[in-house]
Amino acid sequence: MSDALTVVVLLLVAGSATATVAQRDPARQALVLSFLGVLLAALFTVFQAPDVGLSQLAVGSVLTPLLIMLSVRKVRRRARSEEGTE
């Protein structure tokens, strides 16, 4: 039973990693990346590593997406103001 669980989660992780790389738009990538983060936390629970899971949840579900989205916003805002002045 444990084996089936491990396999399911591993395949999901591999799938979402593929999806993360395949999303070429950073904002959409951030969405998949946060999904990958949560899924990794689940995988770490399955690997009996709750400490690591907690830290992956804290980093992967909010911190990294927030950083990426703020960067995206800055870059877009810049591009907009650039268009505005030209």
Identify residues 7-66 at the interface with another protein (CB under 8 A): 7-36, 38-59, 61-66
Q: How many CA atoms lie within 13 A of 40 on its CB side?
A: 19
Name which of residues 67 to 86 contact another protein (CB under 8 A). Answer: 67-78, 81-82, 85
The residue count for binding another protein (CB under 8 A) is 79
To another protein, the closest distance from the beta carbon of 86 in angstroms equals: 9
The rounded distance, in Å, linking the Cα atoms of 39 and 57 is 9
Q: Which two tokens stand for residue 80?
A: 């907009």
In the complex, the smallest distance separating the C-beta of residue 24 from another protein, rounded to whole angstroms, is 6
Structure token digits, residue 44 = 């770490």
